[in-house]
Amino acid sequence: MRAPDLALVAVLALLAAAFPFLVNAYWLHVMIIAMMFAIMAASWSLLAGHAGQFSFGHMGFVSVGGYTAGLLAHFLGLPLPLGMLAGVLAAALVGCIIGWTCLRMSGPYLAIFTMAFSEVLRITIVTEVEVTGGAGGMSVPQLFHARTDLPYYYLILALLVVSVGGMMLVVASRWGLFFRAIRENEQAAAAAGVKVTRFRILAFAIASSLAGLAGTFYAPYIGILTPDIGSQDQMGLVVAMAIVGGMESLPGAVAGAISVEFLIQALRSYGQWRLVLFGALLLFTMRFARNGLLAPAWLRLRSLAAPRAAALAKEAVR
Amino acid sequence: MTNENTTKKIAGRGRLPRRDVLALAGAGVAASMPLFARTARAAQPIKLGWVGPLSPPGGYAEGILMKDAAAMAADAINAKGGVLGRKIEIIYQDTRGLPASGTAAAERLIVQDKVAALFGEFHSAVALAEMEVVHKYNVPFLACDVWSQEITAKGYPQVFRNSTTFPLLDTMIGEWMVAAGFKNVALLAEQDDIGLAGRKIAAEVLTKNKIPFKLYTADPTATDFTAQIIRLKAQKPPFDFFFILYAEAGAYPMVRESHSLGFAPTPHTGIFLSGGDGVDPTFWKNVGKAGVGLLCENVGLPKSGWNNKTKAFVAVFKGKYKTDPPGAAMESYDAVWSLAEAIKNTGSTAPGAIIHGLETLHWVGTRGLYTFSMSHTPAWAYHQFMAAPATILQYDQENQSSFDAPIVWPRKFATVPYLYKTPTA
């Protein structure tokens, strides 16, 4: 990592640690929700942007994680941290199964299949009222019994750092290279010795388990789980966050999620018009900035430093 | 000298260039401007926070009517000089029918806008999420059109409800079916918590009174019920009553198909649509002549029981919005007045005072005399408006207003001598 990047990371870390003390409880709540969405957007970005698998069932895995944790706490009295772990594992397992089932699918077929999976799951949750509480929701006990959201903030911050850091390591590793190779040309990747089946399932499992992780956090934080969390409406929001941030950039997806969530809240007074605005922003991004709005902006910012650094280096050589 | 300068410059490479640091700092400050809440406490108006759906996927059509009604109440109160010499200001927050959006709205109203109390809401699941926020901050919340018994059953001292609740409503409907003398009932409910909870309560009443019935369910997303209705029509012995607990988009197609397939309403089989769509302003546009003879519940005060406040409200609402106000709008209107009354009676906007003011409320609104129960038996009775009006009406003409339709139950509000009028062929 370059020195300016390190400095920026240090500034961001400092800002993140101090954030709860700079804002009121409402914006703290917004940031918590935004970071939760950031995990979802970044994991979807890993799957779609890096591995080239367009899944519209990502929110289904959020439901799997959330409902697993909630149901285990509700029916078996399992402590929530254990329930959360079970939720992540359940999402990973379901992700493996879906990934395996979709092995021969790509493009619109995969998108439609995963969308159907998500809808089947949502309708099942709506229907199984006795178990899940149906559309009326299922109450989930809180993780922390504090009058402030501070513990939730630092927990989701830690989860975000660990999950995005982990994904960045994966992307930078040989696995990441294999993901991109599969994305570009499956046959060529297979001919080069990449175990396509294994890595497609692996990408699905990683992304699904992280989506499940976000779900396990959502359940005790909001205190109620409803099938809406797995709806296509929410899926659209996550996709918009990743696209605005930059689909092939994990930090971009995180920044996209945080920006979009803060904009949604800041523009509350505009009611339905803010949704129109986001739709227009999405159309603009897809037409004119296919790498997202934030990732290129960040690169531009870095390039401002580059000529000066190059000049300094030149002088040093002289 | 040159070497010294070069050394300094090389050392400087580890830091961000000053221009970029300034740019970053500027961007950071600009981005965080709206985050820092206004700390100055507004001295004058009494702020009340309204929560409810104003955009999809929530029930925004009803949410908008509730918002309009609340604005009417604030205008009326302010025209009379406000409360404690201060104006009422309502801040509206869209919850989109999503729990996470509801908690964000409640947090914003309480923390940022510093409202004295919250009111409104249309979706039970969202109200349940918002309740955790008001409970945390100890801010009163007067829930309006949310029927889940869990809301008041939680026993939070901050939470009140001025609408009906499932146990009250479905018990009333069950008792009417018994009194009307039906012999074989088809109970069809949407496959979700609302439909199944209602079906359970109605089934208990029918079982207790030894009335044969059969239970059916339908997918909440379904809009075509042809096969299901044909099967119901072929039932032996035939059903003499078709009770539908369905509030989704399929409610109107179900009524239309039931009519066009000759199942109900017919001289042999009656039909009841429960869930609120029967009194929706778009009802007749959607069902046409299939609605003649249909029964449904109405959670507003019936015309026969209207007081002067109801009459004045309905007249102004109709004049302004060109539609009859549904029960939810009346609830929202009365919620503003109830909170204002609680503040006036206790002379304070402190949370404890408003809660006490609501607990001791004895005020007549557009939906009758408001008092909130302090009993915990059953659990849902706590802070519940137990006398929340609900009636059963039966349309006997096409395009009939729900206000003018004959009321058949409960008998104290009935406008016709009969319990049920057999539809004509």
**Dist CA B151 CA B162 (whole Å):** 12
Per mean pLDDT, which range of A20-29, A203-212, A277-286, B188-197 is the poorest? Answer: B188-197
ipTM score assigned to the predicted complex? 0.79
Lowest mean pLDDT segment, chosen from A2-6, A155-159, B71-75, B419-423: A2-6
Between CA A99 and CA B389 the distance in angstroms is 53
Please indicate whether the domains covering B46-164+307-381 and B167-298+390-413 agree at the CATH topology level: yes
Q: What is the per-residue DSSP string for A129-152?
A: HHHH-GGG-EE---S---SSSHHH
Q: Could you tell me which residues are beta bridge partners of residue A73? A: none
Among the partner residues B34, B104, B132, nearest to A33 by beta-carbon distance: B104
Question: From the candidates B107, B115, B121, which should be mutated to test the interface with A, based on the most A CB atoms within 10 A?
Answer: B107
Segment B213-228 mean pLDDT: 84
pLDDT digits (tens, 9 = 90+) for B13-25: 344 444 444 444 4
pLDDT digits (tens, 9 = 90+) for B134-163: 999 999 999 999 988 889 999 999 999 999
CB atoms closer than 10 angstroms to residue B50: 28
Q: Is residue B12 pLDDT above 70, yes or no?
A: no
The answer to whether B373 and B159 are in contact (CB under 8 A) is no
Categorize the per-residue pLDDT at A4 as very low, low, confident or very high, splitting at 50, 70 and 90.
low
pLDDT band per the 50, 70, 90 thresholds, residue B30: very low
pLDDT tens digits for B361-401? 999 999 999 999 999 999 999 999 999 999 999 999 999 99
Half-sphere exposure for B304 (CA within 13 Å, toward CB) = 18
Q: Is the pLDDT of residue B26 over 90?
A: no
List of chain A residues whose C-beta atoms are within 8 Å of the C-beta of residue B55: 271-272, 275
- Domain map of chain B by residue range? 46-164+307-381, 167-298+390-413
Q: Give the C-alpha separation, B354 to B49, whole Å.
A: 14
Predicted local distance difference test score (pLDDT) of residue B36? 43
Q: To the nearest whole angstrom, how far is the Cα of B162 from the nearest Cα of chain A?
A: 19
Q: Tell me, what's the pLDDT at B192?
A: 67
Which ranges in chain A belong to alpha helices (H)?
3-22, 25-45, 58-76, 80-101, 107-127, 129-132, 150-172, 174-184, 186-191, 196-222, 232-245, 250-266, 273-288, 294-317
Name the residue among A22, A26, A229 with its Cβ closest to that of B111.
A26
Per-residue pLDDT at B5 exceeds 80: no
The pLDDT of residue A305 = 62
- Is the CB of A29 inside 8 Å of chain B's CB atoms? yes
Helix (H, G, I), strand (E, B) or coil at B217: strand
A3 band by pLDDT with thresholds 50, 70 and 90 = low
Domain spanning B46-164+307-381: CATH 3.40.50.970: no
According to CATH, the superfamily of the domain at B167-298+390-413 is Response regulator (3.40.50.2300)
What predicted TM-score, i.e. pTM, was given to this entire model? 0.80
Q: Is pLDDT above 70 for B256?
A: yes
Of the candidates B94, B99, B191, the beta carbon closest to that of A126 is on: B191
Q: Which two tokens stand for residue B344?
A: 């006036």
Per-window interface: A 162-191 vs B, CB < 8 A: none
- Is B125 near chain A, with CB under 8 Å? yes
Q: How confident is the model at residue B408 (pLDDT cuts 50, 70, 90)?
A: very high
Closest by CA position to B140, among listed B47, B40, B44, B42: B47
One-letter amino acid for residue A82 of the chain: L
- Cα–Cα dist A240/A260, whole Å: 8
Touching check for A123 and chain B: CB below 8 Å? Answer: yes
The pLDDT score that the predictor gives to residue A120 is 93
Output phi, psi for B190, to 5 deg.
-70, 145
Q: Does the pLDDT value for residue B10 go beyond 50?
A: no
**Shortest distance, CA A129 to any CA of chain B (angstroms):** 6
List the single best residue of B6, B15, B16 to mutate versus A (max A Cβ within 10 A): B16
Residue B400 has what pLDDT? 94
Average pLDDT, integer, range B12-41: 44
Task: Tell me the CA distances in angstroms from A256 to A29, A40, A239, one per residue in order.
Answer: 17, 11, 10
| Residue of B33, B51, B108 to mutate when probing chain A, most A C-beta within 10 A | B108
Q: How far is B268 from chain A (nearest CA, A)?
A: 32
Do A272 and B55 make contact, defined as CB atoms within 8 angstroms? yes
Quick check: A22 and B32 CB within 8 A?
yes
Q: Which domains does chain A have, with CATH numbers?
A: 3-317 (1.10.3470)
Is B83 within 8 Å of chain A by CB? Answer: no
Å from B296 to nearest chain A CA? 22
Q: Which string of DSSP letters, residue by residue, matches A287-299?
A: HH-TT-SHHHHHH
Do B94 and A268 count as a contact with CB atoms less than 8 A apart? yes
Q: Do B6 and A134 touch (CB under 8 A)?
A: no
A228 touches chain B (CB under 8 A): yes
Contacts of A146 in chain B (CB under 8 A): none
Averaged pLDDT of chain A: 88
Residue B250 parent element (H or E): none
